[in-house]
Amino acid sequence: MIEELKKTFDKFNKKMSVWEIQHNKREENFKKFAERGLPTKKLEDWKFSNFNQIISSNLKNLNIDLDEWWDMETRLPELNKKKIEFNDYLKEFEHNKVIFTNGFFNHSSFEYEKNINARSLWEEDLQSAFNDRKTILADKEKNPLSLLNNAFFTDGLYLNIKKDFQLNKPLVIYNVFDSTKVTNFFNQKLIIDIEENAKIDVFIYTINISKSPIFFNTYNNFFIGRNGSLKLYYFNNLEKKDLNYNCNDVKINNNGILENFTFSNSADYFKNEINCSLKERYSSAFVNGVLLNTDSQNHEIKTKIKHLSENTKSYQKIKAVVDKNSKAIFQGKIFVDSKAQKTNGYQLSKAILLNEESEFNSKPELEIYADDVKCSHGSTSGSLDEDAIFYLMSRGLNKNEAKKLLIKGFLIDAIETITNNEIKKYFLNKLENKIHEH
């Protein structure tokens, strides 16, 4: 697959790179990726999933054919060449919108805000992105898929929330794919810069409306200023053989807050990676999620929370229910710098395994260099409580109903951490529907 990808990259780079610096940076990143190859279990961060094997079994090759929607004269995407009918997929709550179709910025709609502008990275900020190492190069250049993203990304979003501005309604970023067998590989970047006292809720919704499998690879950067707030939610509506990898780098300044929630139940492979730096005093990160896996799915949440200053706080709670030969994974690390006295770090992962073929892998870590801290982690996994099932059956439920009720009660605990009431209600309804289908 790597050799075929080299041929694709050469054609892609000639078409996409307007400036020499683009061409060279893409080439530099692809060369580093090719040296490392697709991730395998030999890499510590990928020890529980052989991604190389997974992607090879779902996709014969990674292909990008820009001719379908690319104008060679303007070197801009012509979205009309492949029209995708857009539906408002989230009707449960009012929201602002940014729509990407087949990886390219399509349009934005801010019906509830006036003082905000969402811009395509390609149209306005691509040059500055390539000039800025913090937004274009992968973290310490170790991550093969982020290097791959740096080489192949086509478009993305730059969003700057100005000082003291607070969005009244959530922003939903729609990633809508109607792929073909020719094009199955998409790369995107999100850069969101939240200035002092600014606040935004962002809901990232990804859907594949075709039957052709895709690999969607993202590398995102979020900057939260003093007293700023970012509430970030992930939900996918992908197909059986789809693959989605998200890498998120978050930097938080004094008294800033990140709230992240991931609901994962679709796609063959899904991994959401969150690298968060609590750079200044009183900054906080709350990372929670639900993994609801079945039919041989492989889903993972991986976190690294770095406490770099005193009086910082992190809280993580991950709940997983795994069925039918599926695998759920949580890798979570809390790092406390020697300067980060009075750190408060908490991490918990729990899983219910519904049959003998299901699997849950957990790797909690603490790395602490300060002595005045309060840090803890824990992880448990097991089957449903047979006594609880028997009790519910004695109250009139059948065995299947009893199991569903216990699963719902187990997962609701993580959803209750969401502080946006409308979005919390959405995920509670989504959980109800998924358990009913189970």
| 252, 340 Cβ separation under 8 angstroms | no
Q: How confident is the model at residue 161 (pLDDT cuts 50, 70, 90)?
A: very high
Is 60 exceeded by the pLDDT of residue 124? no
pLDDT digit string (tens) for 256-304? 999 999 999 999 999 999 999 999 999 999 999 999 999 899 999 999 9
Output the six-digit token pair for 195. Answer: 């200035």
pLDDT digit string (tens) for 38-96? 999 999 999 999 999 999 999 988 888 877 666 655 556 665 556 666 778 899 999 99
Output the six-digit token pair for 35. Answer: 């040296």
Is 70 exceeded by the pLDDT of residue 140? no
Q: How far apart are CA 315 and CA 356, in angstroms?
A: 31
Phi, psi of 362 (to 5 degrees): -130, 135
Output the six-digit token pair for 116. Answer: 């905000």
Instruction: Tell me how crowded residue 424 is: count the other CB atoms within 10 A of its CB.
Output: 16
Q: How far apart are CA 103 and CA 99, in angstroms?
A: 9
Output the six-digit token pair for 357. Answer: 């073929």
Q: How far apart are CA 332 and CA 40, in angstroms?
A: 19
Is 90 exceeded by the pLDDT of residue 436? no
Is residue 65 classed as helix, strand or coil in its secondary structure?
A: coil
Query: Minimal CA–CA distance to 313: which of 280, 339, 338?
Result: 280
Q: Which is more confident, 80 or 234?
A: 234
Question: Percentage of the chain surpassing pLDDT 90?
Answer: 72
Q: DSSP character for 310?
A: T
Q: How confident is the model at residue 154 (pLDDT cuts 50, 70, 90)?
A: confident
State the Cα angle at 103 between 41 and 239, rounded to 5°: 60
Query: Minimal CA–CA distance to 63: which of 174, 147, 179?
Result: 179
Is 50 exceeded by the pLDDT of residue 5? yes
Q: How confident is the model at residue 118 (pLDDT cuts 50, 70, 90)?
A: confident
Provide mean pLDDT across the span 106-120: 83
| 207, 180 Cβ separation under 8 angstroms | no
Q: Work out whether the CA dihedral 119, 121, 127, 128 comes out positive or negative.
A: positive
R_g (Cα) of the chain, nearest Å: 21
Instruction: Tell me how crowded residue 305 is: count the other CB atoms within 10 A of its CB.
Output: 26
Q: What is the pLDDT of the chain when averaged over all its residues? A: 90
Provide mean pLDDT across the span 164-169: 93
Task: Tell me which of 129-143, 218-232, 354-368 is least confident.
Answer: 129-143
Q: How confident is the model at residue 425 (pLDDT cuts 50, 70, 90)?
A: very high
Output the six-digit token pair for 372. Answer: 């005045």
Query: Minimal CA–CA distance to 220: which of 196, 244, 185?
Result: 244
State the Cα angle at 79 between 108 and 134, rounded to 5°: 60
DSSP state string for 323-370 = -TT-EEEEEEEEEE-TT-TTEEEEEEEEEEE-STT-EEEEEEEEEE--
| 414, 301 Cβ separation under 8 angstroms | no
Write down the pLDDT at residue 20: 80
Question: Percentage of the chain surpassing pLDDT 70?
Answer: 91
Provide mean pLDDT across the span 308-314: 98
Q: How confident is the model at residue 125 (pLDDT cuts 50, 70, 90)?
A: very low
State in Å, rounded, how far the first CA of the chain is from the last one: 35
